[in-house]
Amino acid sequence: MYYFLAALLLGGLFYYFLIQKRRSNALNNHAELQARVLIDPQSNDCNRIYGCFIFQVNCLDESLREVVLTSLHCSNKHIHVNHFDQLDFFINPGQKGESGMRSIGISFSLSYMQHYKPKKETLILKGFYRETKGKRKAFFCTKYFQIEALNKADEKDKDIRNSTLTG
């Protein structure tokens, strides 16, 4: 009897992890989700410094119609996410390419940012996507990011634009 219960428990765990693995790979076949964090050193008050998460979807499949982020969890407990319900990325059916950018406001304690050392942070995103046929499939993915200052991000974008214009 105990062997049967143990086998049933192990089978259930295997099935759970198989479903989670499928969910984590579900979006990768249709789109690529990009995440960045930008902070503005000029916009701070006496205790906090403000910034935002910036998301963009790169559509890889023509059958993708919409990507919706419903949940966002950050590994860094010092990041406070402003009110977040969901983010919708609408994709033109039959067209590949990048969607519009969406952002979510965040804030950090000023003391944390004074002692910050650049490292990769983890962001866990959950949501669903819809295909043109109307199918809705859930996904979750993990993205890594580094906190960037707004002025440094502008310099990187200018360098990229200049290299593509001259090359």
pLDDT at 24: 58
Q: In this structure, are residues 87 and 104 in contact, taking their beta carbons and an 8 Å threshold? A: yes
| pLDDT tens string 1-16 | 888 888 888 888 877 7
> How much is the pLDDT for 161?
41
pLDDT digits (tens, 9 = 90+) for 106-127: 888 877 777 777 777 888 888 8
Query: Phi/psi of residue 76, each to 5°?
Result: -85, 115
What pLDDT is recorded for position 160?
43
12: helix, coil or strand? Answer: helix
Residue with tokens 């002692």: 115
CA angle 69, 74, 77 (to 5 degrees): 150
pLDDT of residue 50: 87
DSSP string, 44-92: E-SSEEEEEEEEEEEE--TTEEEEEEEEEEES-TT-EE-----EEEE--
Pairing of β 87-90 and β 147-149: unpaired
The angle subtended at Cα 142 by Cα 147 and Cα 34, nearest 5°, is 60
Q: Is 132 helix (H, G, I), strand (E, B) or coil?
A: coil
pLDDT of residue 21: 64
Is the pTM for the entire model greater than 0.95? no
Token pair of 93 as six digits: 């059916």
* pLDDT given for residue 25 in this prediction: 60
**Which stretches of the chain drop beneath a pLDDT of 70?**
18, 20-26, 28, 94, 151-167
